[in-house]
Amino acid sequence: DSGVTQTPKHLITATGQRVTLRCSPRSGDLSVYWYQQSLDQGLQFLIQYYNGEERAKGNILERFSAQQFPDLHSELNLSSLELGDSALYFCASSVGGRPGNEQFFGPGTRLTVL
Amino acid sequence: DAKTTQPNSMESNEEEPVHLPCNHSTISGTDYIHWYRQLPSQGPEYVIHGLTSNVNNRMASLAIAEDRKSSTLILHRATLRDAAVYYCILRDGVGDYKLSFGAGTTVTVRA
């Protein structure tokens, strides 16, 4: 158990819909990262927040957005869903944003878009 | 992002050592070498990281070439639980600190 929790574990929805994925980082971790894992693209970095502020952006679509709240939990919002958005979404946290800090990954949310 | 090259797959017998190579010929002086693994149906898990010197922890050892253009992750005694995809990742020491995952090496452990 990494200490990172993600809800829900599974999500099934239809094209065009909007969903919110939630992540609670390990206690004391200020940095939260979101990753997407699909069969054809592998694991890809989406976005990072540090203590409530956006720190880095990766291959995140404009239809996707995220935020980190004062209690440090984070939410990833996916809208106008397409079939290709079906994937595993992982949240990770670390103490800070330093390169030596290991990231602790949650169990993931499996999103299926029908 | 600097690129890493790993073999697609490796097989090992239980209780034998496993040496996982990683080439990173374009590594910069500020890049850290990280290894993560992903067990089936789980999120990635940190294994070890280093900058210039060899590193040991309870899970594995990391041997870094003197020119830093390659490294080797060593699992000293493979167990069935070590069957996973192992990712060698270069993490920028001055930019953002995201992890850029490649295809990794799929390790199979035979009982």
- CB contact set of B77 (below 8 Å; sequence gap of 6+): B15, B16, B17
Is the distance from CB of B90 to CB of B34 less than 8 angstroms? yes
Among candidate residues A47, A41, A56, A45, the one with its CA nearest the CA of residue A86: A41
Judged by CB atoms closer than 8 Å, whether chains meet at A102 and B97 is answered as no
Amino acid at A114: L
CB contact under 8 A, A99 and B102: no
B98 three-state secondary structure: coil
d(CA B82, CA A66): 34
Report the pLDDT value the prediction gives residue B12, as an integer from 0 to 100: 95
Residue A79: both structure tokens together: 């809208």
Question: Cis bond leading into A8, ω under 30°?
Answer: yes
**CA pair distance A22, A9, nearest whole angstrom:** 10
User: Nearest Cβ partner of A45 from B32, B38, B98?
Assistant: B98
Q: Which residues contact B58 (CB under 8 A, 6 or more apart)?
A: none
What is the sign of the dihedral through the CA atoms of B44, A87, A32 and B92? positive
Residues in A touching B45 (Cβ below 8 Å) = 2, 105
Six-digit token pair at A15?
A: 């094209």
Mean pLDDT for chain B overall: 92
- In one letter, which amino acid is B87? Y
B98 → closest Cβ in A58, A98, A107: A58
The whole-number average pLDDT for the span B93-105 is 80
According to DSSP, the β-strands at B9-13 and B105-110 are: parallel
Mean pLDDT of A55-67: 93
Instruction: Give the model confidence (pLDDT) of B27-50 as tens digits.
Output: 988 889 999 999 998 999 999 999
Number of residue pairs across A and B with CB atoms under 8 Å? 62
Mean pLDDT to the nearest integer, A18-44: 94
Count of CB atoms within 10 A of residue A76's CB?
A: 24
> Which of A105, A109, A110 has the most B C-beta neighbours within 10 Å, making it the best mutation to test the interface with B?
A105
The CA distance from A91 to A7, in Å, is 10
Please give the Cα distance from A27 to A72 (Å, whole number).
Answer: 9
pLDDT confidence bin for B1, thresholds 50/70/90: low
- Supply the pLDDT for residue B96: 58
1-30 in chain A: CB under 8 A from chain B: 2, 4
Nearest CA in chain B to A42: B103
**Residues from chain A contacting residue B43 (CB–CB below 8 Å):** 2, 4, 90, 92, 105-108
CB nearest to B97's CB, from A90, A98, A104? A98
Q: The tokens 């010197």 sit on which residue?
A: B53
